[in-house]
Structures are given as structure tokens and as C-alpha cells.
Amino acid sequence: MSIVVHGFGVSPNVRSVRITLIEKGIDYHFNEIGFDYLATDEYAQINPFRKMPVLQQGDFVLYETPAILGYVDEAFDGFSLQPSVPKARAKMWQWIGIAANYLYPVGVMQLFLQRIMSPIMGGAADEIVVAESAKITSQHLDVLEQNLTTSFLVGDELSLADIITGSMLYYINITKEGAALVKARPKTAAWLHTLSQRKSFQQTLAGLLEGKAQG
Ligand SMILES: N[C@@H](CCC(=O)N[C@@H](CS)C(=O)NCC(=O)O)C(=O)O
């Protein structure tokens, strides 16, 4: 049954799902939707919370990024993107929680949105929000830097933790404040660079203006 991913190209959560599908070698159709579509009754049928991404496989519909990543990894053959040892797997879920609950709301939704997206949408960055979110992001990145003792976040194999955390950090690193924070942390910078070179990350790069074009 073919897979469809609904969302915007520029969304880090949507990108995480697409990267996971590419890493697993699974063909999928990317249904690029616009902001207006999230508000429709039709969209509420596939995600009543009106967020993206949504993964659809026939009559199976799944939303919430961590759930989608776990499903894609487990439902299909190929290289596993989750460590099998319980402690390592728990660490992977810990990083997924950090990405979703800390990096995304502060580094992406505040720092990236204010510094990059507000001007693109014709507004001005709220410098107070930028400064506050950069300060908190700095603390988040300290934790990342201290924990990057292996090639990837959990050991020496790519896992779902790298995919979701790397997707968030990509957007943080686009801001000048975020880029300075990454540059000051050599292990984080090297890890992000390694991820950015992967075919899956390259193939899912999206123009920042796309959100505006569809809005
Ligand atoms: N908890 C959700 C969060 C999804 C989310 O916030 N997606 C953003 C894009 S990255 C979105 O739908 N934004 C549009 C909006 O909030 O209207 C998940 O893990 O998938």
C-alpha cells in the first residue's frame, strides 16, 4: 500500500518523516499542502489537531511525528533506525522528547520564526523573543554538546534521535544567533555537518519562501 506524507516542505517535523522514509528506502508521495488546507474539515478528518505531518497508508492514518518515525522504522524492512538494547533505545526516545519539547518550541518556533520567517512574511523580528530564545537554546545546545561523545546521538549508528534533532537544529542553525551557538560547539557542529551531507537531508531541503507562497 503506497505511502503519502501530508505537510509543508519547510516544516522540520515533516522533514523528519521524509528523511526517515528515504533512509529506509521507502517510496512515498509527498502531498504539499498550504496553510489554508489545515483549517478545512477535510484536513480535520486526517488530523483533528490540524498539525502536520500526517502519514497515510491506505485507510491507516497516523499523526504525531515520533509515532510516525517509530512506525516507519518498524513496519518496513531494512536497516533499523532504533537501537535494540533497552538503555540505548530509551536514550533515543529521550532525545526525541528533547527535540519535540524543548528544541522545537524555543529554537524553531521562537528563534527561527522570529529571526527568519517574520521578515520573510513582511514583519519584523521581535528582538526580545530572539534574545530570550537564543539564551535558552544556548543551554539546550550545551546539553547536546556534552552528550555527543560518539558519532551519533546514541552510539555510532544513525537513529531516529539524530533525524528529529538534526531537523530541528538545521533551522536553528539558519539564524545568525543559532549559527554562532552551533559554531561555538565543535562536536555539535561536526555532527550537524555529517547529517547535512546525507542524501536524505539533501533531498529534503526546502526553500524558506515556500511557506509564504502557500500561505
Ligand atoms: N506534536 C506534533 C507537532 C506538529 C507541528 O506542530 N507541526 C507544525 C509544523 S512543524 C504545524 O503543523 N504547524 C502549523 C500550525 O501550527 O498551524 C508532531 O509531533 O507532529
**For residue 109, what is the domain's CATH number?**
1.20.1050.10
Please give the number of the atom of ligand 1 that sits closest to the Cα of 100: 19
Distance from Cα 82 to the centre of ligand 1, integer Å: 23
In a domain, 213, yes or no: no
Instruction: Assign 153 to helix, strand or coil.
Output: coil
pLDDT for the residue numbered 207: 84
Instruction: Assign 4 to helix, strand or coil.
Output: strand
Nearest-CA residue for ligand 1 atom 6 is: 51
Longest Cα–Cα distance in the chain: 49
Distance from Cα 98 to the centre of ligand 1, integer Å: 15
For residues 67 and 24, state if they share a domain. Answer: yes
Q: Of 80, 104, 130, which residue sits at a domain end?
A: 80
Nearest-CA residue for ligand 1 atom 9 is: 11
Q: Encode 92-105: b = buried (16+ Cβ within 10 Å), e = exposed.
A: beebbebbbebbbe
Q: Of 26, 55, 80, which residue sits at a domain end?
A: 80
Domain that holds residue 27: 3-80
Nearest-CA residue for ligand 1 atom 12 is: 51
Which residues does 24 contact at the CB level (< 8 Å), separation at least 6? 72, 73, 76, 78, 79, 81
**Cα–Cα distance between 170 and 19 in angstroms, integer?**
13
Q: What is the pLDDT along the chain (215 residues), one digit of tens a residue?
A: 799 999 999 999 999 999 999 999 999 999 999 889 999 999 999 999 999 999 999 999 999 999 999 999 999 998 999 999 999 999 999 999 999 999 999 999 999 999 999 999 999 999 999 999 999 999 999 999 999 999 999 999 999 999 999 999 999 999 999 999 999 999 999 999 999 999 999 999 988 765 443 33
Question: How many structural domains is the chain composed of?
Answer: 2
Q: For ligand 1, which residues put their CB under 6 angstroms from it?
A: 11-13, 38, 51-52, 64-65, 100
Q: Of 37, 62, 80, which residue sits at a domain end?
A: 80
In a domain, 212, yes or no: no
For residues 113 and 150, state if they share a domain. Answer: yes
In a domain, 128, yes or no: yes
For residues 38 and 116, state if they share a domain. Answer: no
pLDDT for the residue numbered 215: 30
Distance from Cα 52 to the centre of ligand 1, integer Å: 5
Which residues does 139 contact at the CB level (< 8 Å), separation at least 6? none
pLDDT for the residue numbered 208: 79
**For residue 72, what is the domain's CATH number?**
3.40.30.10
Chain centroid to CA 78: 22
